[in-house]
A = this chain, B = another copy of it.
Amino acid sequence: MSDPLVIFMPSGKRGRFPTGTPVLTAARQLGVDLDSVCGGRGICSKCQVQPGEGSFSKLGVTVAPDALSPFNAVEQRYDEKRGLRPGRRLGCQATVQSDVVIDVPAESQVHRQVIRKAASDRALTVDPATRLHLVTVEEPDMDAPSGDLERLRDALAAQWDLRDLTMPLPVLRTLQTALRKGNWQVTVAVNHHAGAIAGVYPGLRTDGLLGLAIDLGSTTIAAHLCDLATGEVRASGGIMNPQIRFGEDLMSRVSYAMMNPGGDVEMTTAVRSALADLAAELSGEAGVDARDIVEAVVVCNPVMHHLLLGVDPVELGQSPFALATSDALRLEARDLGLDALSPGARAYILPCIAGHVGADAAAVALSEAPDQADPLTLIVDVGTNAEILLGNRDRLLACSSPTGPAFEGAQISAGQRAAPGAIERVEIDADTKEPRFRVIGCDLWSDDPGFAAATEATGITGICGSGIIEAVAEMRLAGLLDAGGLIGSAAQTGTDRCVAEGRTHSFLLWQDGDRRILVTQGDIRAIQLAKSALYAGARLLMDELGVDTVDKVTLAGAFGAHISPRHAMVLGMIPDAPLDAVGSAGNAAGHGARMALCDVSARDRIETLVRQIQKVETAVAPRFQEHFVAANAIPHATAPFPHLGPLPDVSFNQSSGGRRRRR
């Protein structure tokens, strides 16, 4: 008679095992993903399984009620102490007696799909690089002296078949105490991706390892503190990048490094201490010990990347924009100044795509996965630089375009960062030319009753990036602005809100006594430059692929989440596309960081993908300049925008006598 057949679900993996084989052993031999921290000692309860019973016609087996050994004392004790759900067994205790179908519930799998509502709506695969392994270590013997570390290594090899793991000095410092406190039984956190021991804890530890997914932006540093076993976000937060005091945008920071000896070191120190502060803040918020953070994943643009590593970014400021290193980096977290995390904490930095297209763009590619889909997708991550990806499963291109900070509210007369009090939405009545708007921190429109009272606390302080885009687009739609970007006079537009300022006009968005918020001709020009750069970058990639249209446009980044697709298209920021094909991906870079944190296979995926991405350098492409110039109009003339419908046909060219005319 042949050995009993064991079939694991949902994987369907099957094999025959001698009667009496523990379920966990069978699972391991078949490569079934069944968790275990204690390695079969019956104490961690991670290996819970649910045996089936009766006839499984599709699988061709009938399972007897006694297909597994009876509930044993260990299971009994566990059930009494902690409670085992009906039908559940401990995989290391239950042994195979006859043919059996065994379901591995999601919570007993190391590798699992989770769908979260918070922090991101996307599915996330959890398959952490760092796992826990309980080992029993031999006690020291004077007659055969060997180090505690060497005996720990022996135990990991014998009990888990884990070899050649490195142990950083800070972990070695904790080893002897942990071994003695745990009475020679310790749980070892092993970072399998780095081949390193990340921590040693006395006794059995089954959970609570944490990781930080960090999106290190030029302006803001955002991070999620995640439970590595579940992917759950325990806390999220952001702080300003303190490097701002050395320069608002990337190039001004590169200049600072060039002009000031030691300037790069100052900026490195600043950003590292901000990361450390953020880690402490999030740990405090989640009520956890920062020393339980065993991994950090960082995504950032190339200049931030170099400054975080302590590499002078000067080469990134001049052609040919050579990165010091482009590959993904596996470091010790303390190398980045993250000393307060677990003593063995590791850092993983995603690869950079090119000198202007960083690990943040790689994270967006990881998160949005255009390479795994058929539609030709244009992904735009707007910041001080816009990173642009275009492609599908056949081919993927990337470039970066120097949009400047206008989209972030800088270089705009009344511009400001997105903060309470900033105008973020604008509508202008096409007939009356009267504007209304909303400010951040208030759900009412400015012409709703109660708006004044509701905004009393914040005031109306300026206009942020999404606000200025809507304002300019609405001005164009309302006929206050011509295709060339000129604001009409009061006479030309029929509204007193168009006020003369020198030789040009401004549009008065809001006034309260002396305080006014205007959209000036200068503001329009700044937005035109930024949107031309963005469009020219996208267009350059489309040329490279030989296409005139795209199937899908994804706006990534916090900014992308707040832009109205229609206004972006009126402005000519993005190529024409059906409005329902334009969507926001939210903080895709941050999500990519979280994916790389929680799912070790995502790291291989992005490292492979980055090598396949075709890099296009905008800075030296003659066609970029051509597209840039041609894209100046609102919307521009180089491509038709059939999905927009007709726009007001106005021209306020002053040299033509200042008269409003129809062509």
Contacts and interface: CB of A to CB of B under 8 A. Distances in A.
B173 A326 contact: no
Given A169-B310, A172-B311, A310-B169, A326 B146 contact: yes
Most B CB within 10 A of own CB, among A148, A177, A309, A331: A148
Contact of A324 (B148, B310, B322): B148
Interface string A321-344: 111111100010001000000000
Interface string A120-150: 0000000000000000000111111111111
A609 interface: no
Contacts of A323: 145-148
A564 B620 CA distance: 80
A349 to B, nearest CB: 11
A176 interface: yes
A70 interface: no
B327 A147 contact: yes
A354 interface: yes
Contacts of A314: 176
A312 B176 contact: yes
Nearest to A309: B169
A167 B323 CA distance: 15
Contacts of A327: 147, 149-150
A620 B148 contact: no
A454 B150 CA distance: 56
A309 B146 CA distance: 17
Contact of A322 (B140, B173, B325): B140
Interface in A270-322: 309-312, 314-315, 319-322
A320 B141 contact: yes
Given A173-B310, A310-B169, A140 B320 contact: yes
A139 B320 CA distance: 9
A370 B140 CA distance: 28
A181 to B, nearest CB: 13
A360 to B, nearest CB: 16
A-B pairs, top 7 by smallest CB distance, nearest first, are A147-B326, A140-B322, A145-B354, A147-B325, A149-B325, A142-B617, A147-B323
A480 interface: no
A518 interface: no
Copy number in this complex? 2
A530 interface: no
B311 A145 contact: no
A310 B343 CA distance: 13
B615 A324 contact: no
A619 interface: yes
Nearest to A168: B335
Given A145-B355, A320-B141, A325 B619 contact: no
Contacts of A170: 310
A175 B312 CA distance: 10
A143 B325 contact: no
In this complex, the member of A144, A177, A322, A323 whose beta carbon has the largest number of chain B beta carbons within 10 angstroms is A322
A352 interface: yes
A321 to B, nearest CB: 6
A179 to B, nearest CB: 9
Contacts of A353: 145
A571 to B, nearest CB: 29
Contacts of A173: 309-312, 324
Interface residues of A, number: 45
B169 A335 contact: yes
A142 B616 CA distance: 8
Contacts of A322: 140, 145, 147-148, 176
A649 to B, nearest CB: 41
A319 B140 CA distance: 9
Contacts of A142: 319-321, 354-355, 615, 617, 619-620
Contact of A331 (B169, B176, B311, B319): B169
Contacts of A324: 147-149, 172-173, 175-176
Contacts of A335: 169
Contacts of A312: 173, 176-177
Given A142-B617, A169-B331, 14 more contacts: A140-B320, A140-B321, A141-B320, A142-B319, A142-B620, A143-B617, A145-B322, A148-B315, A148-B323, A149-B325, A150-B325, A173-B310, A173-B312, A176-B311
A142 B143 CA distance: 63
B175 A145 contact: no
A150 B611 CA distance: 12
Nearest to A319: B142
A604 B141 CA distance: 25
A82 to B, nearest CB: 35
A182 to B, nearest CB: 14
Contacts of A172: 309, 311, 324-325
Contact of A145 (B141, B147, B176, B617): B617
A322 B169 CA distance: 17
A309 B175 CA distance: 13
29 contacts: A139-B320, A140-B320, A140-B321, A141-B320, A142-B321, A142-B355, A142-B615, A142-B619, A142-B620, A143-B617, A145-B320, A145-B322, A145-B323, A145-B354, A145-B355, A145-B617, A146-B326, A147-B322, A147-B324, A147-B326, A147-B352, A148-B322, A148-B324, A149-B324, A170-B310, A172-B324, A173-B311, A175-B324, A176-B311
Contacts of A176: 311-312, 314-315, 322, 324
A147 B305 CA distance: 12
A170 to B, nearest CB: 8
**Among A167, A309, A314, A320: residue with most chain B CB under 10 A:** A320
A118 to B, nearest CB: 35
A321 B619 CA distance: 65
Contacts of A320: 139-142, 145
A18 to B, nearest CB: 38
A428 B348 CA distance: 73
